[in-house]
Every structure is written in structure tokens, then in C-alpha cells.
Amino acid sequence: MALTIATGFVVDDAIVVIENISRYIEKGEKPLAAALKGAGEIGFTIISLTFSLIAVLIPLLFMGDIVGRLFREFAITLAVAILISAVVSLTLTPMMCARMLSQESLRKQNRFSRASEKMFERIIAAYGRGLAKVLNHPWLTLSVALSTLLLSVLLWVFIPKGFFPVQDNGIIQGTLQAPQSSSFTNMAQRQRQVADVILQDPAVQSLTSFVGVDGTNPSLNSARLQINLKPLDERDDRVQKVIARLQTAVDKVPGVDLFLQPTQDLTIDTQVSRTQYQFTLQATSLDALSTWVPQLMEKLQQLPQLSDVSSDWQDKGLVAYVNVDRDSASRLGINMADVDNALYNAFGQRLISTIYTQANQYRVVLEHNTENTQASRRWIPFA
């Protein structure tokens, strides 16, 4: 893209130098003298234009984050191309003009050159007549300029603004959030309720969702959804209206919060997010995060420009503390790593394998059998 844009800049420098040298040759100067005089006369202009264009690109070099990495190569490529063009225009172009241009070569014109020159002469004459009329009506010209400025200000005020325009490609990604104490079974049940509500919308064609911990889903109390909408010619509303309607309908399902956003082809997110924009809060300790995250959430929720403010900070889940009898464990040949692995295998949703089929893939999750626990047995009282 930078090389394509640079085409217009690199051509301008050479054209200006050649035109100035040709003007002196047409006046009767020898090609070498015309090249030296023309290049020397226009050299400062070429240098000033070159550094002015490069100065415009300097801020792009200091941009950080993902956007900076996207535009850094663009800015460097364009700046180097402009700099090379200036060097060529002040060195190679005058030398070639001194060797190749002459009064005879300028007089020799083919049919196309004569026709194009006549066309340009007519355009220049029409421009001169129009400029004369404009200069004869200064107040009208000033009024048009002020009206254009006022219209530009009004457009800037009333036209919607955004970082990236929202694209409607018919796909909505969503995150379902439940209380931190929700189990896998409870979360799956709530997910089915939400899916039934979403599929009742006339604009929805299909839905895919999953529950459980994996690479994109960090906790059991959250679920991921992908909603496929009908084609634009089969639905009446755009994706933003569909999202608002779905969120209103899902709000009637108790105990869950649904966050939806349209899938975009161009995005700067490095991880899956519930909302369109995300911030990362860092601290030196977990206590500091637990103190400042709720305060930041409260302040953001008070802003009328924001909606669906959420956080992935979870510190209110159920906790069970286990005291291990290390002496008994050591007598049985069990170390703490074995205890840790056993507990994680039973309650940690450990992914031990993935089954691949022609149409799908299934993750194998290790867990314990609740029927074999003593708490699930029935105790018969003695008479």
C-alpha cells in the first residue's frame, strides 16, 4: 500500500525538474547549462517538499501498541521512497536531461503529443477564464468559502464517529456470564435457556455455543456463543438493532448477563473480549487489584457514553481449604504433588485429550464420579 501511494509523490519530483529544464532549453540554453540552471533553481523546492512530507510521517513511527506496528512499516516504506525520489530527481534526472533533451527533441512531437498539448491548452484557457470570473466577484467567492467551512463543521458535529466503522457481516460473538459459584451443570442449563431465547429472534439463522474451560473460555461460569444471522436481504434490521433486541430478550433470563458484539474483519484485539473496547489494569499485588478494579468499574459505569461495562476479575468464587495429613501421606508413599494432581483431576476440568472427527472436534475433560463419594450415599439409621 505504501508503494502504491508513493507513486504519486515520486512522479511529481521528476516532473517538476524536467519541466523547469525544458523551459530553459526552449529559451535557447544548451542542454548541460539548462540542466544545471534548472536543477539548481528547483533544488531547494524539492528538498523542502521532501522533508515536509517525511515530517508528516514521523508521528506514525512513534505510535505504540498494535496500531503502531501496523503503520510503522507503512511510514518507513513511504518515507524512504520519497527520499530516494528526491535524490534521483536532483542527480539522475538532470544528468539524463542534459544527455537526452535538446531543442530538436522538444520540437519533434507525434500526433498524440500535439493532440494532448492542445487539450491541455484548452484546459488552461478555461481555468484562466474561470479564475478571472472568480476574482471579479470577491464577496461571492468569500461567501462560498465560509459556507463550505461552516458545512464542514456541521458535518463534523453530526456525523457519527468511531475508531473502526461497525461492519455487518452477519456474525455476532457473545459471552454469557453467570455468578462465580455456578457449576458446569448449572451453566449448561442457563446456556440452553439463553440459546432458546436467541433462536426465537426472526433475524437469527443458527447458533453455536460451548461451556467449559479451554483456551478462550477461562472459567466455568462463562460461556461463548456465535450467532449467525440471516443474509441482509432476508432480515429487516442491521446487526446493531439485532444485538439490542437480543440483549433485551435475554435480560429476562435470571442469573446471567449477555455481552454481544458484531464480528469484524479488521480488529486490533489480541484476545477474545466481551465488549468492543478493553483495558488492562496491572498492579503489584492481588490485593491492590481487588481494591481498584471495583472502583474503576463504578466510575466507568457512571459514564453515559459507555454500556455493558464488565470485568474479568473474579475473586468471589467458592473456596475450600484442605489440610493434608502429611505424616499419613508419607507412610502411604503419597507426596504433595500426587495430592495436587488428584484434586486437579477431580475438580479442575483438566483437558487430557481431543477427539477429532471429520465434522468436529471434542475435548476430553477429566473429572471424578460423584456417585462414588460418601456424601452421595444413603445412610440407613439403626433402630
Tens digit of each residue's pLDDT (9 = 90 or more) over 200-228: 999 989 988 888 766 667 677 788 888 99
Q: What is the pTM of this model?
A: 0.54
In this prediction, residue 269 has a pLDDT band, given cuts at 50, 70 and 90, of: low
Residue 98 forms part of a structural domain: yes
Q: Is it the case that residue 81 has pLDDT exceeding 70?
A: yes
Q: CA 97 to CA 92: how far, in whole Å?
A: 9
- The span from the first CA to the last CA of the chain, in angstroms, equals 88
Is 354 found in the same domain as 241? no
Mean pLDDT across 169-182: 84
| pLDDT of the residue at 149 | 95
Is 359 found in the same domain as 291? no
Q: What's the mean pLDDT when you consider all of the chain?
A: 83
Q: Is it the case that residue 377 has pLDDT exceeding 80?
A: no
Residue 161 forms part of a structural domain: no
Is 183 found in the same domain as 240? yes
In this prediction, residue 10 has a pLDDT band, given cuts at 50, 70 and 90, of: confident
Residues of the chain above pLDDT 70, percent: 89
Q: CA 277 to CA 84: how far, in whole Å?
A: 40
Q: Is it the case that residue 126 has pLDDT exceeding 90?
A: yes
| pLDDT of the residue at 21 | 87
In this prediction, residue 56 has a pLDDT band, given cuts at 50, 70 and 90, of: confident
Mean pLDDT across 360-377: 70
The domain total for the chain is 3
Of 295, 318, 341, which residue is a domain's last? Answer: 295
Residue 196 forms part of a structural domain: yes
* Residue 268 belongs to domain spanning: 171-295
Is 332 found in the same domain as 279? no
| pLDDT of the residue at 59 | 84
CATH number at 227 reads 3.30.70.1430
Is 259 found in the same domain as 186? yes
Of 63, 90, 108, which residue is a domain's last? Answer: 108
Amino acid at position 168, single letter: D
Predicted confidence (pLDDT) per residue in 308-353, tens digit:
787 877 777 677 888 888 888 888 889 999 989 888 888 777 878 8
Residue 316 forms part of a structural domain: no
| pLDDT of the residue at 147 | 95
Residue 152 forms part of a structural domain: no
Q: Is it the case that residue 383 has pLDDT exceeding 50?
A: no
Is 99 found in the same domain as 51? yes
| pLDDT of the residue at 313 | 77
Is 267 found in the same domain as 201? yes
Is 199 found in the same domain as 270? yes
Of 239, 273, 295, which residue is a domain's last? Answer: 295
Q: CA 116 to CA 147: how far, in whole Å?
A: 36
| pLDDT of the residue at 107 | 61
Residue 165 forms part of a structural domain: no
Paired residues of 350 in beta bridges: 366
H-type alpha helices, the chain: 2-26, 31-61, 65-90, 92-100, 103-107, 111-136, 138-158, 184-199, 239-250, 286-301, 326-331, 336-347
In eight-state DSSP terms, residue 232 is G
Residue 312 forms part of a structural domain: no
Q: CA 201 to CA 245: how far, in whole Å?
A: 8
Mean pLDDT across 369-377: 61
Q: Is it the case that residue 42 has pLDDT exceeding 90?
A: no
Q: Cell 528526491 identifies what position? A: 86
- Contact between 238 and 196 under an 8 Å Cβ cutoff? The reply is no
More confident: 375 or 154: 154
Residue 128 forms part of a structural domain: no
Radius of gyration in angstroms for the set of CA atoms belonging to the chain, rounded to a whole number = 35
Is 357 found in the same domain as 273? no
Predicted confidence (pLDDT) per residue in 93-111, tens digit:
889 888 887 766 666 666 7
Q: Within 13 Å and on the Cβ side, how many CA atoms surround 382? A: 0
CATH number at 85 reads 1.20.1640.10
